[in-house]
Amino acid sequence: MIINELINHFAEQSSKKKILFLSLLAHDITVRARDTYIVGSTQIQEPLKLRAFNEIQHQITGQLIHFFLDVPIL
């Protein structure tokens, strides 16, 4: 599938399915973001990558709020 087909498929889904997909994606991102940590310490090995994960997480959770509240996205 190309990106436009994926976008169209997502757009056609019910709010419940969109919320489920975005929730699973958000959870997966938190796991992948852990790869930026230095094992056994509180230090960050890849701060720019962690910031990128944080921004993606912010966007996804914002979308979740809109779908959950059934509020149009501006």
Is there a domain that residue 4 lies in? Answer: no
Is there a domain that residue 29 lies in? Answer: yes
Is there a domain that residue 1 lies in? Answer: no
Residues spanned by the domain of 63: 14-69
User: Average pLDDT for consecutive 10-residue bins of the chain (74 residues)?
Assistant: 89 92 96 95 96 97 90 65
pLDDT at 15: 87
Q: What is the largest CA-CA distance in the chain?
A: 44
DSSP 44-67: BS-HHHHHHHHHHHHHHHHHHHHH
Is there a domain that residue 57 lies in? Answer: yes
Q: How many domains does the chain have?
A: 1
pLDDT at 73: 64
Is there a domain that residue 35 lies in? Answer: yes
pLDDT at 68: 87
Whole-model pTM?
0.83
